[in-house]
Amino acid sequence: MLEQIKQWIEHRRGGKIGSHDTGNLPNPKTPGEQLLTDCRLIVLDLETTGLNAAKDEVIAIGAVAIRGGIIHLGDQFDLILRRPELDIRETVLIHGIGPEALTQGHEIEDALLYLLEWMNGDPILAYHSAFDQKFLEKTLKAQLGYTQPHTWMDVADLMPAFFPNTKTGGKGLDNWADYFGLEVSERHHAASDALATAELTLIALNKARTEGVKTLKGLYDKLHYHRRLQNMHRY
């Protein structure tokens, strides 16, 4: 991954070190009649210094692409960001990213620009996506001045939307992974969590196909309908 970014930086800057250009980045795609069997989906997970998007920061990004009903392990993103100024004492035991890793991490502007180009504007899925969306959008704006809204979908909604009567014993990523017999190699590691979330996404997409949900808009509408039902049941 680091070597790929080095090559990308040289290509983007013409071999010269200079200011970043945020122009000509891919435009985010909106849900339409794109077939789920054809479109590329990004499954993403972040590690942060805490849970408060107002004061905590992103320190690692993991993501993998799904295309044609397959997780493409050769099409993934896995980086620790260079942020030696951050205090990670309260969370290092959770994510395992220490001061040395943050000092040796990749330059944040380079990593974010590469991430945006790699994502290519494709829809993003995450488990409890509101968390990742807040942190990523905050970081992109602060570091690059980038504010274009991507399409986000929450896998925590996706699973119960297609498996409404499933007894998992809880609503967390681990609960669903255990129910379907998935192995999560390393929890609270961005790339590992992204892969586990991608595997759950494939299970949901296979169920969606049996229910006649064939397009990105159909999937998006299904999630919207599920959230409306959940909100109605709260009152």
Query: Which pLDDT value is given to residue 97?
Result: 82
Tell me what the mean pLDDT of segment 173-194 comes to.
Answer: 86
CA distance 95 to 116: 24
Question: Does residue 16 surpass a pLDDT of 50?
Answer: no
Question: Does residue 17 surpass a pLDDT of 50?
Answer: no
For the chain, which residues make up each domain, given as ranges?
33-233
Which one has a higher pLDDT value, 235 or 97?
Answer: 97
pLDDT band for position 86 (cuts 50, 70, 90): confident
Query: Which pLDDT value is given to residue 101?
Result: 85
Query: Which pLDDT value is given to residue 80?
Result: 93
pLDDT band for position 18 (cuts 50, 70, 90): very low
C-beta of residue 102 within 8 angstroms of C-beta of residue 83: yes
CA atoms within 13 A on the CB side of 40: 14
Domain 33-233 has CATH 3.40.50.1860: no
Residues 134-162: tens digit of each pLDDT: 999 999 999 999 999 999 999 999 999 99
Query: Which pLDDT value is given to residue 13?
Result: 56
Question: Does residue 41 surpass a pLDDT of 60?
Answer: yes
Which one has a higher pLDDT value, 230 or 37?
Answer: 37
Classify residue 2 as exposed, middle or buried by CB count within 10 Å of its CB (0-12, 13-18, 19+).
exposed
